[in-house]
Amino acid sequence: MKVMHIGEYVKGGVATYVKEVINYQNKSPEIQEIYLLASSTNSDKDFELPSNQISFYDYTRSIKSIFKAMHQIICEIERVKPDIIHIHSTFAGVFVRLPLFFRKKKYKIVYCSHGWAFLMELSSFKKNIFAFVEKFLSIKTDKIINISLNEQKKALDLGFSPKKLELINNGISSQKRILSTEFKVNSSKINLLFVGRFDRQKGLDILIDFFKTYKTTNVQLYIIGDNVLKNNQVEIPENIINIGWVDNEKLDSYYELFDGVIIPSRWEGFGLVAIEAMKNKKPIIVSDRGSLPDLVNNDNGYVFSLNNLGTLRMILNNLNKKELEIKGLNGYEYFIQNFTSEMMNEKIIKLYKQIL
């Protein structure tokens, strides 16, 4: 079969997902040709495909760009003539499916929002608009992949057709890439790590405000990441150590150094950092939002309330290295049984074959 992946801003977690899928499908005897089409703006460029199978369309988030992007995408689809179009993220879902209400569909469509927009921290009006648009566009969709149990439940609650919904958990490679690093931590302390964008969704500001008042000599917080917007600088207090941006291939080497990983997101479609931590045998300390509590399902971490940070204080006050080590091992077993790239990709190809 011939598969075409289409995304908008293919970076961060979406890029990690797409790369895992493409790398697996490159080796699959079920798939003869793979193509990728993504925005030239804010997309990674290092995908393991020949240059003639990767295309980038001109696009920035504006009304004028949307129609131009739609035209370029339609032209590329007509050129490639795929059997399956696998769409990644909300805006790409609009670009591909909206024109199909005015033209004949000659291929099967699989859509993954990578986190429903109507579950984000938005006004009720905007949430309802996003929900209406997604349900409307689902008419032109053969299958919708939900990346977590929480996403699946919310879609069902909103009345999406159960026949169109498929739960396929996010997955990552179980292979660890340990590279040498000169970075060191104080092993006499409990060292916790935050990994993510410095934006509102990921909740770093919540951690910063918490640690301004949480004075302890036993727990040390480190952060890896960077600002998304240059005019949105985050001030890091002295008792938090900012490692800065770390390339994805080096992340395993840093996870190795820490006792646990903390994820204070305000909303999360899945929580890729959580399974990266599990893969590296590290326990997770997560907020009670989105899919995150479901990932602490094997005595592999802790859940705290964003509305009551006293729960986080209680967790941190009672941490000890032995318990963290045991929970990290539990997390690794949970990862191997549920969240590997191979499991995810086998289910995706099975889905392709089913709709064909």
Phi and psi at residue 33, to the nearest 5°: -140, 140
Q: Does domain 190-338 have CATH number 3.40.50.300?
A: no
Average pLDDT across each block of 10 residues of the chain; the chain has 356 residues. List them in order.
Answer: 96 90 96 96 90 92 87 96 97 95 94 94 94 96 96 96 96 86 91 92 94 90 79 77 88 95 95 95 97 94 97 96 98 97 97 97
Q: What single letter denotes the amino acid at residue 105?
A: K
Q: What is the pLDDT of residue 344?
A: 97
In 3D space, the residue among 201, 3, 238, 28 whose CA is nearest the CA of residue 108 turns out to be 3
- What's the pLDDT tens digit per position in 34-85? 999 999 988 889 899 999 999 999 888 888 888 999 999 999 999 999 999 9
Q: Which residues contact 296 (CB under 8 A, 6 or more apart)?
A: 284, 286, 302, 303
DSSP 298: S
Phi and psi at residue 327, to the nearest 5°: -65, -35
β-partners of residue 304 are 287
Domain with CATH 3.40.50.2000 in the chain: 2-172+340-355, 190-338
Contacts 24+ apart (CB under 8 A), 209-217: 210/309, 210/312, 210/313, 211/237, 211/239, 211/240, 212/237, 214/313, 214/316, 215/239, 216/316, 216/317, 217/189
Q: What is the pLDDT of residue 25?
A: 97
β-partners of residue 287 are 304
State how far the alpha carbon of 21 is from the alpha carbons of 14, 145, 171, in Å. Answer: 11, 13, 9
Q: What is the pLDDT of residue 229?
A: 52
Q: What is the pLDDT of residue 287?
A: 97
Number of helices (H) and strands (E), helices first, in the chain?
A: 12, 13
Give, rounded to a whole angstrom, the gap between the first and last alpha carbons of the chain: 9
Q: Does domain 2-172+340-355 have CATH number 3.40.50.2000?
A: yes
Q: What is the pLDDT of residue 227?
A: 73
Q: In this structure, is the dihedral angle defined by the CA atoms of residues 106, 151, 327 and 15, taken in order, positive or negative? A: positive
